Amino acid sequence: MNWKIRIIPVLTLLCLICMITSSFAQSKRQYIPNNERFNAGLILGYNASQIDGDYYKGFSKYGLTGGIRGITRLRSNLEFNIEILYSKKGSKIFHNRYATPGRSMEQRFIDLTYIDIPVFVKFMSPSKESSFHIEVGAIYSRLFNATIKENVLNNPSEFVYQEIIDDFKNNDISVLGGIGYTWQNGFSINYRYIFSARNFYRGDAFGSDSYDLIIDQPVTFLRNYYYTLSLSYSLFDNKTRKKSKKRKT
């Protein structure tokens, strides 16, 4: 299957990240006790999303995201993370973005429910109990529910999204980049920008020669991209980071 072929470069990249960070951690010879090396956490936040390919801009679709996190500490300022998240994505288009009058307030609403599995490394400022952090990684997503609500005028030149819902692909791969702030007590606030590396829909060109309709360009693909703002908590209280700071003072 094509998605299996496309996932190989992503998995290879993640393996390389793990090998490089592990080697870097060993080169510093920093001792981390086993009871502080592994940890777990909770995440809760929201997604603001849109869909590339439908010719509309604006992160107008809001949805809940939340779940659990597993953490492996490679150094006092470097972590390897894997999460399992419930995540709502999609798009929302309002009537004032259309040239055609007489439509309802919410012209189209695409609600996509995913299980996301982010895998990433988290870099923190060295030798500080609380600090800014950077996150880099990838996300595997599995679509398990899709709902579409739209006000269709039954015009033969109008694209109907409900007719293609069965063609949505279940598997998705995304690239993750984020920043945030981590407190010494285990809390952190996180901002992430995520864009999909593959389309969840690919179809034949659909177009209209009628320029009195707003949908007059071919809809040949659809792809997720969104940002996330979340609050997380880990049981780890940065003991090693505090010890590292005391040794240097």
CB neighbour list of residue 62: distance below 8 Å, 6 or more residues apart: 46, 47, 48, 49
Tally Cβ neighbours within 10 Å of residue 44. Answer: 13
Q: Does domain 2-248 have CATH number 1.20.58.220?
A: no
CA atoms of 96 and 159, how far apart (whole Å) = 18
DSSP, collapsed to helix, strand or coil, labels residue 98 as: coil
> What is the spatial distance between Cα 151 and Cα 93, in angstroms, rounded to a whole number?
11
> Any idea what DSSP says for residue 23?
H
Under 8 Å CB-to-CB from 10, ≥6 apart: which residues?
138, 173, 197
Query: SS3 helix, strand, coil % of the chain, rounded to 5?
Result: 20, 50, 30
Cα-Cα-Cα-Cα torsion 125, 126, 130, 136, nearest 10 degrees, comes to 40
Report whether pLDDT(8) > 60.
no
Q: What pLDDT sits at residue 46? A: 96
Of 87-96, 136-145, 194-203, minimum mean pLDDT range: 87-96
How big is the chain, counted in residues? 249
pLDDT at 21: 52
User: In terms of pTM, does the model score above 0.95?
Assistant: no
Q: Which tokens hold the place of 133? A: 């952090």
Question: Which residue has better confidence, 163 or 119?
Answer: 119
Q: What is the three-class DSSP state of 8?
A: helix
User: Residue 223's closest CA among 207, 204, 202?
Assistant: 202
Instruction: Express each pLDDT in 147-203 by its tens digit.
Output: 998 877 666 667 788 889 999 999 999 999 999 998 888 899 999 999 999 999 998
- Residue 66's pLDDT band, with cuts at 50, 70 and 90, is very high
Residue 116 Cα to chain centre, angstroms:
8
pLDDT mean across residues, the chain: 78
What are the tokens at 42? 């909770």
Residue 221 has pLDDT above 60, yes or no: yes
Residue 227 has a pLDDT of 96
Decide which of 8 and 41 is more confident.
Answer: 41
Residue pair 180/155 in contact by the 8 Å Cβ criterion = no
